[in-house]
Structure formats: C-alpha cells, structure tokens
C-alpha cells in the first residue's frame, strides 16, 4: 500500500503500573495506510502500549498525536469516534446480543464515501457472519467471534485498526481465514497495528516490523531486515 503522512505519532511515551515502569521513552510513527507488526515476547509491553493508545491506560509522560492532534487524556470513546478502533485479545464480543445486534451497535458512517465499511460490506467480507446473523454471540465458535469482533471494529469506519492477538487460540484453518480478512483490510487502505505470535504471517502482511523488549523499541524497520538476522529473531522473539 502507498504510505504517506503520519497518522499516529508517539514520542517519548512513558507508562507506569504503580511504581513499575512499563514503557520507557517509547517513540513510534504510523503512517496513513501503513500496516505495522508489533512484536515481542510476552510481558514486553505490547498490550500496554495498545491500551495506552486507545485511552484505556494513562500515560505518565510523552506525546501521542493522532492526525496531528494531541490525544493524551482523551477518553476511549472520543478516540474511537476519532477513528481508532481496538480489537482486544480475547475478542470481547457482547455474548448477550445477536451477531446482527453486535454489528449494529458499532455501525457508524465514515467519511470516505464508497470506501466506507457498511453493514453489507462487512457481511460480504465475512460470509460466515452472514450465515449466523441471528445467532446469539454465545453460540459462535472462537473464529466466528474473532470475525465478529473485527467486523464490528470495521463498522466504526476507523482510520487505524489495532488488532491484539487476532489469531490466538484459533485452529490453523480458521486463523488462515482471519489472515485473509486482515489482508482485505490492508488492501482497503486502513492503517493497522497487528500483534500476533505468528511471526511469518505478520512479516508477510506488514509494511513494517516493530520489536519491543522490556518496554523499549529495539527494532523498527522492514520485515525483511528482521528476517535476515536470525540471531536477533531468537534473542528478541524466541523464534
């Protein structure tokens, strides 16, 4: 995808859990239409970073700018309305609502005209959801729940989609389907930040790889450069 202006700029970000310093002077720039793979072993601060970006965690210091505007201190719902969609680890669908109700809850018109994700477009991209439209959220398989979670996020018509462990706990075939959908999203021009344990799939789909170790960014560059150095892969990611 062609990559242009900055969509999200993070500079000198520090986050603490009580006395524990979790993110250290973190800086990162995500451009419009860019797909960034955020990698790192468990406990390195990936989810903390994502939660801070969507306002679920407060930062101690540093700047976060979305389309040039400072977003620090803004509540989660305002950030969501500004175009940052977050699909958390564990999906978080509303199990008491049907598939249709889950999707309608999120639906919000975008500003891109024909490129908007409409209810129909989401169902076309997720035929499985179309088949189970009136089923309760609790009746869906893990893969279907993930599709619903992503579909719901797309219906908010975001300009940045954050996916945390999208294929975690899914059978390989179902996971493949999720990767296919992520590729469709990528082609549609939405910027995304992907966190996943499947290093190969991430490398294939992303424009850039970012590796975190102990709350710091130790690598920020092309996925190919990362692959070319197996020693670093082992050291940073354990693969």
Q: What are the residues binding another protein (CB under 8 A)?
A: 54, 56, 75-78, 80-81, 85-86, 88, 92, 94-97, 101, 104-106, 108, 152, 156
Residue 12, classed as helix, strand or coil, is strand
Q: How far is the CB of 196 from another protein (least distance, A)?
A: 19
- Tell the residue number behind the tokens 């989810």, with chain if given: 47
CB of 77 to another protein, least distance (A): 5
Closer CB to another protein, residue 78 or residue 139? 78
Helix axes 99-106, 142-154, angle to 10 degrees: 30
Give whichever of 84 and 217 is closer to another protein, judged by the CB atom.
84
Q: How far is CA 174 from CA 29, 103, 114, 170, 179, in A?
A: 31, 20, 29, 6, 9
- For the CB of residue 76, give the shortest distance to another protein in the complex, in Å: 4
Nearer to another protein, 76 or 234 (CB): 76
Residue 50 · residue 10 · CB < 8 Å: no
Instruction: Quote the least distance from Cβ 86 to another protein, whole Å.
Output: 5
Instruction: For another protein, give the closer residue by CB, 96 or 141.
Output: 96
H and E: helices and strands count for the chain: 10, 10
Per-residue burial over 173-188, b = 16 or more CB atoms within 10 Å of its CB, e = otherwise: ebbebbbebbeebbeb
In angstroms, what is the minimal distance from the CB of 137 to another protein? 9
- Taking the least distance from each CB to another protein, the nearer of 94 and 119 is 94
């Amino acid at each position: 995808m062609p990559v242009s202006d900055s969509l999200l700029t993070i500079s000198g970000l520090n986050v603490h859990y009580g006395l524990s310093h979790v993110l250290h002077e973190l800086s990162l720039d995500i451009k419009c239409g860019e797909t960034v793979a955020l990698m790192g072993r468990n406990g390195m601060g990936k989810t903390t970073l994502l939660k801070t970006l969507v306002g679920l965690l407060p930062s101690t210091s540093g700047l976060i700018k979305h389309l040039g505007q400072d977003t620090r201190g803004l509540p989660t719902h305002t950030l969501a309305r500004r175009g940052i969609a977050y699909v958390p680890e564990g999906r978080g669908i509303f199990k008491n609502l049907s598939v249709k109700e889950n999707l309608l809850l999120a639906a919000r018109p975008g500003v891109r005209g024909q490129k908007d994700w409409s209810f129909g477009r989401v169902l076309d991209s997720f035929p499985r959801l179309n088949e189970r439209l009136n089923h309760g959220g609790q009746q869906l398989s893990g893969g279907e729940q993930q599709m619903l979670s992503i579909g719901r996020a797309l219906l908010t018509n975001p300009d940045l989609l954050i996916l945390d462990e999208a294929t975690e706990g899914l059978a390989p075939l179902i996971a493949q389907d999720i990767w296919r959908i992520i590729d469709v999203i990528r082609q549609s021009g939405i910027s995304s930040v992907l966190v996943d344990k499947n290093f190969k799939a991430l490398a294939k789909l992303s424009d850039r790889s970012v590796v975190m170790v102990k709350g710091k960014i130790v690598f920020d560059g092309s996925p190919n450069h990362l692959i070319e150095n197996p020693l670093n892969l082992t050291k940073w990611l354990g693969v």
